Amino acid sequence: MFGQITYLLWLVLCIGIPLLIMLRWHNQLWQQRRALAFAVLGSLGGGWAWDALAVHFDLWYYNAANIAGIWWLGLPLEEWLWIIGVTLLFGSITVIVADRLGVFPEETPSLLSLVHLPVCLSMTFLPSQFSYLFMLIVAALIFHGILWARNAPFLWRNRRIIFTVVAIAEVWMVVTDPIGGHWGAWYFTPTKVLGIWFLQVMPLEDFLGIAVVSSAAAAAILVFGYSKRRWI
């Protein structure tokens, strides 16, 4: 719609501006820069692996006319910026919500089994018309399995913060995702989704996807910013 700056323009309007507003409005964000940095590092690793697989399996694709054309490790520049941006966005929202609601102190951690994760990961490679949904389930199990493995009591006590961040993320998604879809910043392969669309451009899976992303970001901020452990 706007040529090669289409996706970049969407990133500026829907992620960049809200982030700048929060940075100016809430001083606590700078104090949690370490937690935000750890969350971004984690999202870069997991987000790259997941998004690269999604693009490889044609879950979605890009119009070369609407992106800058700079690719790295199987993803366009804009997708890397999206991974960083949404992590900072929902991580910052978590800090603000935690400041308002308060954080319950850490309890004795419990170690959960991660044996199921390789099994779930194998689901990614099953050919299916529901592959987007399968990959979201796998992502949720892996990302949250890692975050909750040694922090389950602490995160569960602060579930209200996580649920609040997810609710805000869903509202954000409803407002911003259709804009990117209508602009042609990205396109979904119809045979790879369930076929339930919002405003004709946003598949149902996107609602689940943003819930996974925002809840993982919130959990990471709580673990690295408010838990004495500061590791997973």
pLDDT in tens, 188-220: 999 888 889 998 889 999 999 999 999 999 999
Cβ distance 89 to 109 under 8 Å?
A: no
Please give the pLDDT value at position 8.
97
**How far apart are alpha carbons 19 and 49 in whole angstroms?**
25
**How far apart are alpha carbons 177 and 171 in whole angstroms?**
10
4-21 tens-digit pLDDT: 999 999 999 999 999 999
CB atoms within 10 A of CB 35: 22
- pLDDT winner (highest mean) among 52-56, 113-117, 157-161: 157-161
| pLDDT confidence band for 51 (50 / 70 / 90) | very high
Beta bridge partners of 202: 198
Question: Residue 72: helix, strand or coil by DSSP?
Answer: strand
82-111 tens-digit pLDDT: 999 999 999 999 999 999 999 988 665 555
What percent of the chain lies above the pLDDT cut of 70? 88
| pLDDT confidence band for 113 (50 / 70 / 90) | very low
140-196 tens-digit pLDDT: 988 898 888 888 889 999 999 999 999 999 999 999 999 999 999 999 999 888 889
